[in-house]
Amino acid sequence: MTKIIALVTGGTGGIGTEVCRELHSQDRKVIAVCLPEEKIQAERWLKEMRGEGIDTDIVTADVSSFESCEQMVSQVKERFGNIEILVNCAGVTRDKTLQKMDHNQWKAVINTNLDSLFNVTRNVVQDMVDKGFGRVVNISSVNGQKGQYGQTNYSAAKAGVHGFTMALAQEVAARGVTVNTISPGYVDTRMTAAIPTEIKDQIVTTIPLGRMAQPVEIAQAVGFFCLEKTAYITGANLPVNGGMYMS
């Protein structure tokens, strides 16, 4: 039986790696997307993953570029087949208060965190519709729900992620394709490791569960939305934030 092909943007990152492991546990063929300039590091990552027995591969693309994503999806389809699960996980931060933020810092975050949803999803969704099955999971953030000081760019992009989810979910629901959002809180990754310790300690005091999430906890939520048996859930946003923001 041919395995379902799952594509994970930002797949070699902290959350992305655990998403790849989770989808492998569902017997998917997993393809991780990394930036072209990160290919050497990604090849080391691939060797480690295969050493764990995980059936994965890597492809390169700049998810902020539609043309790059178009070429990447074409390569995946040629090598492996049509993509039936897509996890839009790529993301960056460029934190500054709006008064100090320059246009490049704004655009870098919007292009990578929001435009990428269109750039990748637009190139795979028609095949899902044609087959009558597909799963799209978009990674947003608690800060897209509540906002965050110094993150007008990030909060705006991540709020837009769920708007994209709800609209696309309505467009493709009748064809067996579901589109959902995960909104993590603070996760113990390289990105949050760069936060000064005193600020991290302050953040943890605002989390009712008293700790940051582990990447595997986000990945398990992603995996839930990718199951065949969750076909009746679409347009939903699942917060995984330790109670930091409740709605």
Residues serving a catalytic function are 154
What residues are paired with 213 via a beta bridge? 187
